[in-house]
Chain A
Amino acid sequence: MSNSANHTNNYRRKFLAQSAAVAGLAIAPGIVLNQVAHAKADADKATDANRWGILIDTNKCNKGCTDCVTACQTENGWGKGETLSNKEQQAQWIRKVTITDKQTGHVQSLPLMCQHCETAPCVDVCPTGASMKREDGIVQVDKHICIGCRYCMMACPYKARSFVHEKLELQKATAPRGIGTVESCNMCAHKVDKGEDPACVTACSKAKHGAMIFGDLKDANSAISKELKKNGGEQIRADLGLNTGVRYQGL
């Protein structure tokens, strides 16, 4: 082999080695980040061993009290900051609803939020799968793949969802919100994953109303299951057959 050919081969080897090194350096941070992103231990994952639910006793729910709403706002960072949107455009993850019987005049008050349906219409209609149900029954929106088509809002029987109409700042790390995407109550999944109650339930107990019980509907010994077995609990729009995770007493 001539000298010049050797020289060329050496040059090629060097070039390939350097290219590989550069490519490696370029990919490595991505791989590390990917591992960090997927670092959650399997043991912590939501599984279908649980189905989280909330039971609300409307007879205990205080008509003037909005502590559950305020607690949700504080926990998830909605309710202020949407300064450009009008009232009809501002997000509401949970609201107090007053219902009056047209015949008897009987007035009731209750909190209304995502009902975490087993067969959720919002999950069915979402084209990208951004509207999703966790294994443990919590329904929420993956804001990374929500395209903002709002079909889930058309489909939800409970008007539980809101669309973010403007840019937002100073969000909670546990509840990221994004312009042009849809959001709703996710039963404080970040708290539930740590073994805590959703913020609204905690606030209701703190106010000494005790109208809300959170727990595992699949665990026969949980407080919510025992109460449901003993005194029952209704679904709003039960006719739709959605098997909601949020139930009501005294409707």
Chain B
Amino acid sequence: MKKPVFKQIDGNTTNYWMLLALLGSFVLAAVGSHFYMEHGGHYVTGMNNQIVWGLPHVFAVFLIVAASGALNIASISSVFGKTAYKPLAPLSTLVALALLAGGLMVLVLDLGRPDRLIVAMTIYNFKSIFAWNMILYNGFFLIVGIYMWTMLQRNMNKYSKIAGFSAFVWRLALTTGTGSIFGFLVARQAYDAAIMAPMFIVMSFSFGLAIFLLIVIASYKWTDRPLGDAMFKRLKNLLGVFVAGVLYFVIAQHLTNLYATEHHGVEAFILRDGGIYTQLFWYGQIIIGSLIPLAIIYHPATANSRSAISIASIFIVLGGLAQMYVIIIGGQAYPLELFPGKEVSSSFFDGMVNSYSPTLAEALLGIGGIAVSLLMVAFAVKVLRFLPESLADEAVDPHHSK
């Protein structure tokens, strides 16, 4: 195995600038949506006092979860010593930082008072998992940034193992924190479960790798750099394991809930009677997000096709967004159980399934988060040496015999 040679992409093609312009226009649309929502207040959104976290949160939490998962490739090479993944480790840190930045942008711009972000950065209530998350997010930027530096600068390489290990521990803490935002909500039937934290970690593996794989396939195809089957197969097989892992956690979560009578109401709502949430669960999360990708990844007819695996990755991303929608919005749509065994009604919509129709502004803000992440990656690979010149089999496989 040769030492990988990293090189910036040329990036002087029309297509490259078109890509930047396209992503840039989505970012501008997101900023525009933000000002539209902030100008007069959140009344222009589909959010209300029943569904307080809407579509922006779906995108934000998805991106934050995916961010820590995108770091996987780097962790596998530095922490678990799999040298085959080493050429992609710097890109892995870059994608991780970019996804987190995109997710946080959406989260912050959706606050009621984003102008008070400085308050959130300076005043901490240490009993709040949200406050801990702010520390975890900022720490992630710092630690993964240092990790990236130790890989990019040759005389710092000797520190990359310890930096990689710190980043690995930190990312596990970060996703535990993100999952716990929901796990710690005692009042709501759909949340309040310890399984949320580990489930979010496996979700991060899956979503993060799907996005990472898409970025690798696209950037190597668009820059005419060789991407050998050895690296491609490693990544897609790993992705298959992660998708199956998420499915396992989802089954465990619902089976546990189905056993307890107390949770029958919310389970019937998500799995059977919830309308859009039920459809998103079965068609979005389970069929499009899990079963079809698994079939594509493991079926001999499609397993070796780059375009088929790209489609599987896109499906995993869409399924992931559907899963977030079901968790975040479906969880709020189901009414709070204030008086078990009784029918409840009031002027404040007690006892009713709460309605939510996302608006264009919210969708554009969320999509803008993805655009920010991709824009950062596209720009960084042009100005810094993130991408190996070749991921051909002889460049990555220590046992390549040809």
Contacts and interface: CB of A to CB of B under 8 A. Distances in A.
Interface of A: 84-86, 88-92, 95-103, 112, 121, 123-129, 145-151, 153-159, 161-167, 179-182, 236-237, 240, 251
A162 B188 contact: no
Given A88-B355, A125-B130, A146-B113, A151 B187 contact: no
Classify chain B's interface size: 35 or more
B45 to A, nearest CB: 8
B112 interface: yes
Interface of B: 38, 40-43, 47-50, 52-53, 111-114, 116-117, 119-120, 123-125, 127-131, 133-134, 181, 184-188, 332, 336-339, 341-350, 354-355
B355 A166 contact: no
A181 B343 contact: no
Contacts of A127: 120, 124-125, 128, 130-131, 133-134
Contacts of A150: 52-53, 112
A86 B48 contact: yes
Contacts of B341: 101-103
Given A149-B112, A165-B43, A112 B346 contact: yes
A88 B349 CA distance: 8
A128 B132 CA distance: 11
Nearest to A182: B112
Q: Which among B114, B345, B347 has the highest number of chain A CB atoms within 10 Å?
A: B347
A179 B188 contact: no
- Give the dominant DSSP class at A's interface: loop
29 contacts: A84-B40, A88-B349, A90-B49, A91-B49, A95-B346, A97-B345, A97-B346, A97-B350, A101-B342, A102-B342, A121-B185, A123-B127, A125-B130, A125-B185, A126-B128, A127-B120, A128-B131, A147-B116, A147-B119, A150-B53, A161-B49, A163-B52, A166-B41, A167-B40, A180-B111, A180-B112, A182-B112, A240-B187, A251-B339
A164 B41 contact: yes
B378 to A, nearest CB: 31
Contacts of A89: 42-43, 47-49
Contacts of A112: 338, 346, 350
Contact of A151 (B43, B181, B343): B181
B347 A95 contact: yes
Contact of B41 (A95, A96, A147, A179): A179
A125 B130 CA distance: 7
A182 B47 CA distance: 14
B125 A126 contact: yes
